[in-house]
Amino acid sequence: MELGNHVLDNIRANYDEIFSAERKVADYILKNPENTIRLNVSALAELSGTSDATVIRLCQHLGYKGFYQMKLQLAHDLGSEQLFSGNIQPKNPDNADDVIKEIVSNIMHAKANVDSEVIKKCVELILGCNTVHLVAAGNSIPTAIDFAFRLGRVGIYTHSSFMPEQQLNGVNLGSDKDVMIGISHSGSSKHVIQAFELAKKRNMSTISVTDLPGSPVTKLSDYALSTGIEFSSVYIFGAASHIYISAILDILLYFIARAKKNEAQKEETDNVEYFLSETKI
């Protein structure tokens, strides 16, 4: 499959050769190409009355590696400023003040999507587990590493890595007393999905933290935290901002740290801060 091939032409040329279930997906894409590039695989499956697996099979039968690659090509075909994350830029702030205003507006939007009861349950799981396994892919990895570091500073034992193989190995060596947190902007990263499937085999409790709601990882997780922010001007091609996901992680960290204040472990974490004080003037 050449990336220069138009997706809609590709679908029409191969329509008679694809399975009946896949034709439902193809029909939706042909009728709604512009909306398709705004969707994740789970959303397209729901709108077409099929399953995630059917959407992926259609894309592969058409010669693409998966839905993500097909969506990028479709966006290119339509001449859109398609984001690497799957979002469309709705506007283009041209000064710092406007960018900050949009960030604040989006954080307030995320506020409406965060369920306090789910946050409370996630905090309880993290406080009561042996190890928190942080899993992420691509440019979500630094966010996961940062959160792992900060959890460690408040006395929570964590495992994470810049290497996907080490992330998965950590989950594989875990137990039902551990918690796995998968961080993914799109919620469609194959590596993160694999980690959730592996965590289930280890009977771990799982938490997903995403921007896009209704994604594959949210369906696999026991508890899903999503900002609900699908479109934002502060996303740039190939490097979606994680400001909003970080806001959710900061909420978790705040309640975890507050709960830790009355525990005996606090003395030890204070010692860490004391030792590190030597590095500051």
Domains in the chain, CATH or no CATH each: 7-78 (1.10.10.10), 96-279 (3.40.50.10490)
Burial of 238 (0-12, 13-18, 19+ CB in 10 A): exposed
Identify the pLDDT of residue 238.
47
Cβ neighbours, 10 Å, residue 6: 14
**Backbone phi, then psi, for 100, in 5-degree steps?**
-60, -40
Which three-class secondary structure state does DSSP give residue 135? Answer: strand
Core vs surface per residue 94-120: b (16+ CB within 10 A) or e: eeeeeeeebbeebeeebeeeeeeeebe
What is the residue-level pLDDT of the chain in tens, covering all 281 positions? 444 468 999 999 999 999 999 999 999 999 999 888 878 888 899 999 999 999 999 999 999 988 988 988 888 888 744 443 344 444 567 788 887 888 888 888 888 888 999 999 999 999 999 999 999 998 899 999 999 999 999 999 999 999 999 999 999 999 999 999 999 988 888 899 999 999 999 999 999 999 887 888 998 999 999 998 866 655 544 455 688 899 999 999 999 999 988 665 455 555 666 656 666 66
Write 161-164 long-range contacts (CB < 8 A, 24+). 164/137, 164/191
pLDDT of residue 14: 92
CB-CB contact of 182 with 135 (8 Å): yes
What is the CA 54 to chain-centroid distance, rounded?
21
Please give the pLDDT value at position 275. 58
pLDDT in tens, 222-245: 999 999 886 665 554 445 568 889
CA distances for 194 relative to 64, 186, 189, angstroms: 20, 15, 9
Q: Return the pLDDT at 237.
A: 43
- Residue 130 burial (C-beta neighbours within 10 Å; 0-12, 13-18, 19+): exposed
Tokens of 87: 């979002």
